[in-house]
Amino acid sequence: MRYLQRHIGLREECAKLLPGARSAVCVALLYGRPRAESAARATGRVAQYARGRDYHVVVRRRLETLIAALRERLDEPFEARAFVDTGPILERELAAQAGIGWVGKNTLVLNQDLGSLFFLGEVLTTLDLAPDAPATDHCGSCTRCLDACPTGAFPAPYQMDASRCISYLTIERREPIPDAFHEAMGDWVFGCDICQDVCPFNRRAPAGRDPEIMEHRIPDRIPLETLVGLRSGEYRRLVRHTAARRATRAMWQRNAQIAAQNVGGAGG
């Protein structure tokens, strides 16, 4: 993902994103859903995070509300800037320093009680706030996430080769997906939840409750025949107001064709 190489200086020193910044307020919003009861044949799976209303919009709105509330309650004038996976900011590292969770072996932020199925958001501010204690690592000797990855995207604990990750392949890669990954992609057509599904901390984690995040805008499984023949209008209706817009119609079709080859559906 070449965009990660841009603005490296800002990522290393996020205070440059807001002159005079002294603190970062980090938040998490749950999006986990109950596990699907059945796996219908000839359907493609969609990662949980993309099925509700676009988290960029929802979390940013919550952060702007937080900033407004702070301005009402505090006499001290301050500047603030909100981020939701939209700026050159090391949000996982900030979340760990803020005590939300630790960066796990699958490179996602984990919380003992909340698991990892949550969105992150940050507010940089000129307020000088007392910091919370950083989170400590509780992965221990567990390697379930590493062992479960079908494409071998984790060369070592706490390291990810994004070019092998199913989420990257289905959402970020614009070029054709190498044949070597096709079979391992299974029936995923947008994103992947495998390394989170097997994590013990997610087994007892609470489900999301935000009504917009938990909307059923996109089903967990979509008939592959529908996706392979996806028309422009159908695509727009499918991804409207969701983070699934990140993948183009051609990418959805490409992913569905690969999934169909794997499960014997339309286009296989």
Per-residue CA distances from 27 to 83, 92, 118, 126, 218 (Å):
10, 11, 10, 17, 25
Which helix (H) or strand (E) segment holds residue 255: the answer is helix 249-263
The 10s digit of each residue's pLDDT in 201-254 is: 999 999 999 999 999 999 999 999 999 999 999 999 999 999 999 999 999 999
- Its pTM stands at 0.91
Render the burial of 206-220: b for 16+ CB within 10 Å, e for the rest: eebebebbbeebbeb
Contact between 261 and 267 (Cβ < 8 Å): yes
The 10s digit of each residue's pLDDT in 27-75 is: 999 999 987 656 667 999 999 999 999 999 999 999 999 999 999 999 9
Percent of the residues in the chain that have a pLDDT greater than 70, as a whole number? 91
Q: Which residues contact 33 (CB under 8 A, 6 or more apart)?
A: 48, 51, 207, 208, 214, 220
SS3 call for 128: coil
Which residues are identified as catalytic? 85
Residue 7 corresponds to which tokens in the numbers above? 């603005």
Given a cut of 70, whether residue 78 has pLDDT beyond it is yes
Q: What is the 3-state secondary structure (H, E, C) of 215-226?
A: CCCCCCEEEHHH
Using CB atoms within 10 A of its CB, is residue 230 exposed (0-12), middle (13-18) or buried (19+)?
Answer: middle
Residue 160 corresponds to which tokens in the numbers above? 């990810």
The 10s digit of each residue's pLDDT in 87-118 is: 889 999 999 999 999 999 999 999 999 999 99
